[in-house]
Every structure is written in C-alpha cells, then in structure tokens.
Amino acid sequence: MKSWNWKKIWLRIGLGTVILLLAVVLFVFIYVQRTLPDTNGEIFLEALSSEVSVTRNEEGVPHIEADSLEDLYMAQGYVQAQDRLLQMELSRRQASGELSEIIGSATIDQDKFFRSLGLRRAAEASLEDYSQEGRAALEAFAEGVNTYIEKADRENSLPPAFTLLGSKPEPWTPVDSLTIGKFMAHDLGGHWERQAFQYYAMNNFTEEKAEEIMAYYPENKPKVLEDTSLDIAGDFRNASLPHPFNGSNNWVVSGERTESGNPVLADDPHLGIATPSIWYQMKLSGPDHAVSGVIFAGVPGIILGHNEDVAWGVTNVGPDVQQLYVERRNPENPEQFLYEGEWEDAVIHEEPIEVSGGETIDYEVVETRNGPIINEFSEGAGEGEALSLRWTAHDPSRELEAVLDINRADDWESFEKGLEKFHTPAQNFVFASNDGTIAYKANGKIPIYDNPADSQLPLRGWVEEDQWDGFIPFNELPKVVNPEKGWVATANNKITTDDYPYHISHNWAQPYRYERIQEMLEEDSTITVEDVKRMQMDVKNLQAEEFTSFLVEEVKREGLSDGEIAALSLMEEWNFEDNKELSQPLIFHHWLDQIENLLYADIPEDINSLFHRKAQTTDEILRAEQNGEESEWMKEAGGKEKVITSAFRRTYKKLEMEYGASASDWAWGDFHRVEFTHPLSDIAFLDRFYNRKDPLPVSGSRVTVRAAGFDDNGKVDHGASWRYVIDTSDMTKSHHIVGPGQSERFNSKWYHSQYEDWVEGDYHETNLLEDTGEELLLLPEE
C-alpha cells in the first residue's frame, strides 16, 4: 500500500492557497487601480464645442478652462463625476428617498421620510422657474456627468462600490442637482423638531418647566394645545433629522485694520465630518469670469469662494422657516382636511419605493394646503389628526442661478443683486472686494409672524389667522456695509437688535464662538492672513470660562476621594482651552453631559432627539442658578448642589474606568478623535480600505471657534468641513483646507491627503489663475 506524505501534501495545499490568495489580491488591486479616473492625456467629448483643459494642482484641485459657459459646466460635471460619482449617486438617492433601491430594507423608513418631506418634488417645481441660462447650465452639467458614467460603464471602470452594491448609476438630470441643493436646506435645518418637542413639553410638564425651555412663553396657552392629542413620541421615532450642531463661522475685516490695507475674509462652514468631504474644491475659468472655491458634489458653479474682484463666505442664519400645523382630517374621507369650516381635498402623491431584494412598497404622501403630512411616514397614516410642514424650501426657488450670478459679480451691488434669487437655506453672507468694501447680509426667504410666540409651537392648520403673513422684503433683511468698527462676524449667533421690526428666530446658537471671534478681532489692530488662520484654529472655551468656577464651587466636598479632589484642583488651574493634550476639557464636557442626563432624565429617548438646541437650554438653567435664581428643572432633579456633585462623581467614575485613577494623566485627545469615516465602511471588511486605522486626537469642541463636535464615543463627526482665508490685496491667492481630501477613491493619492492638515491646521495656497500641478487632462471636441 502506498504511504502518503501528509507533510508534503499540506505544504502543497498551503502553497496553492497562498498563490490563489495572492492572485485574488493582485486581481483586486489591478481592478481597483484601473477604475481610477484619467487625469492626464486626452479624452474626446463629442458634445464640446471647443477644447477644454483640466489642470490639477498638488492637492487634486481641478482648474477647468473653457471658451464657453456650456463647455465649462459640462466639463465641471465630468470632472466631479470622476472624483465623486458614488457620493453624487448616494446624495441624490438619499434626498429623493431612493436609497432602498440599492441598499435594501435597512433604509425603507429613511426613504419614506424623505418622500414625505418632498425635496425632489420641490426641486421639480423649482426647475420650472429657471431661466433659459440657468437650465442650460444644469443641462450641460448633467451631460458632463452622463458622459463620464457612459464611458466608465463601457470601460468597466465605475467606482468599485457600485459592484459591491450590485448597481449602476442612473443618468443624471438637472432635477438631481436641484434636489441636492434642497437637501442642504434640510441639513442646515429649521426648527420644526423644537416645535414638536415644545408641544410635548407643554402637554407633559408643569407650566413652570415648560416656560423655562421656551424662548418666549405665551401668556395664554395656545388653543391648538387644548384639544389635540398627537403622539409626538411615536411619530418621529424613525425620522432622519439634521445634525443638531450645524453651524459655521465667518468674518471680514476692513483694510483699515489689516496689515495689507485691504479687507481680509475668513469662512469655515461647519457640517458633517466624513469621507468624502461634503465640499469639492474647484477653479472655473470661462469666457467672462474666473472663480475659485467649493461646491457640493452634483451641483455646477462655485457656492463659496472668490473671483478676481470679490470674495464671500456664509454661515447659517437659522431663521424660523419651518412651521408645523395640526391638521384635522375628515372622519368620512381621510383625503380631506378642514380649512375655514370647509373640507378641502388633499393632494395625493404616489411614491412607490423599490427595495433591493424585496417587493416594491406602495407608498402615498398626503399634502395639505400647508404642506406634506410628515408624522405618519412609518405607521398609523390616515387616522385622526396629523402634522403637516410648511417650509420655505418647498416653494420654487432659483439658488443655482444666484450662485452663477454671484460667481460673476464684480462689486457689492452686483453681488447683492444676485442674492435676490437665493431663498433657501437662509444664510449670513459676508463680503469683501478689492475696492475696499466689506459687507454683510442675512439673506433668504424668511416668513413674517404677527406673534413671535407662534413659531415655537404647532399651529392650527384649519384657520386662516395662523398662516404666515408674507415674507420679510429683500431690502429690509438685516444688512451692514462698511461698519465703523471695521469688521463683521457671524457664528450663528443672534443677528438683530430689539428694535428690528421683524422676527427672525428663537433658536440662535450658543454665543461663545461669536464672542471669542469678537475678542480676537478687537485684540489685534493689524490683522494678517496668518492671524486669521490662527483664529480659525483657536480653542478657547468661553462656556467653560463662564461656568467652571461655579460648578467647582457647588461640588459638595464631603466624601470625595483623593482622586476626585485632585480632579477638581485641576479644573481650578485650567486656562479654558480645549487642547487635546489637557485633561480639563475631558472632565468639563463629560461633566456637562452628566448634568444634562440628570436634568432631563424624565424626557423619553424619542422626544430627546427632538430637543433641538438643548445645550442653550442647559446654559440658561446653569446661568439662572449661578445668578441666584431657581430653575424648576434643577429643583426637581434635586437642587444644584446635588445635581452638580452627582454629575461630577459620575464623570470621575466613568473617566477613571477608562483612563486610570490619576486625572493628571488624562487627555482630551484620548477621547476626542477624528477618523473621517466613509458611509460604506459599516460593511464588515470595507473599513480597512475606506477608513484609516488610527483616529487622530483633535483639539477644539462644539463651542470653540475651532469647531469639532463629537458623539457619545468621542468621535469627531462635525466641524469645519472647509477652511478658507483670503486677503483681497491679491485676489489670485487664497488659503484652504478640505478635510480629508478631494477624492472619494480610497486608492487615490488625494483620498486622505489633507487628513493631517485638517488636524494640524496646515493650509494650502490656491492660485485663481495659475497652476503649479503637472497633471493636465485635455477634453477636445470630437
């Protein structure tokens, strides 16, 4: 009988397995590499009327030069698709409520919510209002995107994620671009969530507790609350809510206060932190203008940036542009709703939802005169009272035309003229020009409320008197041109004085970022670009400066451990900087979280998600207690000494378990880290490709000028998605950071090329007219 040499057999099997694995890895590597877009050479685009050049600099910023606007926007669509096609596809699907078609059942509730919200319907209505020039830009852009999709599909070089998802991108349309624009209005938010929360509060808490969380408490309980019984807790359980900390910083300084003698402008919009960046940086040179800055992937033009004459930046105004209405449904006909004593037919939108791996869902959206019903997207539709949403973003609007107009503006007058078409989202524009002008305008379509209290609660959908009373006239929106103090700044703070005749909002951001910017601007009389960069990276925490001493003094020392005493001593020594190397910010932010947990322990989890701007309410409670006033929330939680002491001890215990007993060895950066995660990295094995293995420690917080919001695990998920500084003495140069990079392709050299730069604050200079890069792609006409 033959004797088997098992050692050799297993060796051969092992060797064969290794060779097979290497072959698979090599195949995958070659396949992935061949999907990278061409950034050198020539690609013929049949639709072009003349040759277009695309030069990329060291950071992958493309400079597109064309002889006609149609060619310019067509090439812009092609180039964006090269770097961001997957992001564009996921963005339009998310905003349109079509993710389930490629993701499956996991996104059904999200799709139902966005179908109910109606962003795509609003985009379709908006397209009807666009001028011939605006439509031409949108159509040229879409043709460029589709040219790339067709080429990549033909050459089997679509981004690998499409293969993983088992799908291919649908042809791009002008409505897709406008839908992404409407989604940004949603992402930058309104205040319907807070209205829903305050409705719950007034029906479930004492009048005293409800009063404390209302910016303006109504003298008489609104009639709508006396005879309604909506299930707020259950209605929005699966709603896709915008990030609660969306905001931004911007400021502009007159040449009288700068070293160069010309205005200096800074902008850092705060949005979600992820891979790829929400922003895509580009330079566009057409027959009548050159412009540099950033745009949302999927949209033509430049939304933030500068040209050869003017520069601009934005922050979110945060006005009350969303209003919930309680609707009374006809018990005999669920498609009719009451208005002024008559039953009106609602509009029914058929919105079938295709589900990958499942059956198509027959879904209907009901729309009243006030707007779509938004609280019945998951279950219980067609029963009793409902909540509809009136929102300025539902109205037809032409923001893209405004963008194209301001791209070509050459002074404040022409720039402001372009803003007339920019309705939503309402933005604080700061402006600088090389003629020395600085200016500010809170721009957008902002409704007029006869009674400021109305915007805090759902109103009666069945009466005319609860409807909006028009909109603030464009010429009466808040505006400042060349102020005497020599600067203008905004940080989502309150922007109007008490004598301003119109209501803007009850929901301003915490004032700390604005106050710190003001401090720094008033400290320096000869400001430079380098000064402004340092300001954007500043981590002084004025919230901590306001409350730390009070919190430390209120801690009951009896029974504290030596470690807890040492931690309190550290807090007394703090310079109030949220520096990643210090332990005090780690203690402070956890301490505030624990205080909120104790104060709001009786608020259900579903309702807590609607508690928009909760941090401001907490500030007011602490401020009242610090000034000797008694808060009902604090009183019911046990009083300030008990709450503050218990919160501190909980904080110490939690941090001791995670970082050791000695508070002096703790560091903010041990907890507060950035990773720039990719939306597909939740799929088991993809994180090793899409995410870097070691998150980086980051300074800053939600309340510092260097904004760095974080989740419960310390992951930095919100902040300056783009940083930008320009001195108008030389309009060709500007300074930028796009975190984490230009490309969505994990194997691209521009994928995470600005990751460390974002963390360290290392800016890149971009020249509007010249290019230092060596990569040149020519797109000649056929």
Residues flagged as binding site for Ca(2+): 320
CA pair distance 158, 537, nearest whole angstrom? 38
User: Who contacts 774 (Cβ-Cβ below 8 Å, separation ≥6)?
Assistant: none
Pick the catalytic residue from 248, 397, 681, 701: 248
**How is residue 57 written in tokens?**
């600099």
Which CA distances in Å does 626 have to 216, 551, 587?
21, 9, 20
- Rounded distance between C-alpha atoms, residue 637 and residue 642, angstroms: 8
Active site residue 631: no
CA dist., res. 670 & res. 581, Å (int) = 8
Q: Provide the token pair at 186.
A: 């949603």
Q: Which residues contact 557 (CB under 8 A, 6 or more apart)?
A: 565
Residue 177 tokens read as 């671009």
Nearest one of 510, 711, 759 to 619, comparing CA atoms:
510
Alpha-carbon distances, residue 765 vs 585, 601, 726 (angstroms)? 32, 49, 10
Let me know the angle formed at the C-alpha of 20 by 16 and 24, rounded to the nearest 5 degrees: 170
Tokens 């890895």 identify what position? 25
Could you tell me the sign of the dihedral formed by the alpha carbons of 474, 477, 483, 489, in that order? negative
Rounded CA-CA distance 133/606 in Å is 46
Return d(Cα 44, Cα 656) in angstroms, integer: 63
| Placement of tokens 């919001």 in the chain | 709
Phi, psi of 674 (to 5 degrees): -115, 145
**What CA–CA distance (Å, rounded) separates 49 from 45?**
9
65 φ, ψ (degrees, to nearest 5): -120, 125
- Among candidates 774, 748, 752, 763, which has minimal Cα distance to 54? 774
- In terms of Cα–Cα distance, which of 236, 242, 241, 196 is closest to 376? 236
- 3-state secondary structure labels for all residues of 592-661: HHHHHHHHCCCCCHHHHCCCCCHHHHHHHHHHHHHCCCCCHHHHHCCCHHHHHHHHHHHHHHHHHHHHCC
Q: What are 478's two structure tokens? A: 């808040």
Per-residue CA distances from 351 to 171, 368, 370, 553 (Å): 20, 16, 19, 58
Rounding to the nearest 10 degrees, give the CA dihedral for residues 300, 301, 305, 306: 160
User: Percent helix, strand and coil across the chain, each rounded to 5?
Assistant: 40, 20, 40
Q: Quote the DSSP letter at residue 317.
A: -
> CA-CA distance, 566 to 29, in Å (whole number)?
54
DSSP secondary structure of 164-196: HHT--PPPP-HHHHHHHHHHHHHHT--SHHHHH
Give the torsion sign (CA, 656, 661, 664, 669).
Answer: negative
Question: What is the C-alpha separation between 313 and 331, in angstroms, rounded?
Answer: 51
Interacting residues of 269 by C-beta distance below 8 A, sequence separation 6+:
248, 279, 304, 313, 314, 315, 720, 721, 722
Angle at 583 between CA 577 and CA 589, to 5 degrees: 70
Contacts of residue 763, Cβ cutoff 8 Å, sequence gap at least 6: 533, 723, 725, 735, 736, 737, 757
Residue numbers annotated as active site: 248
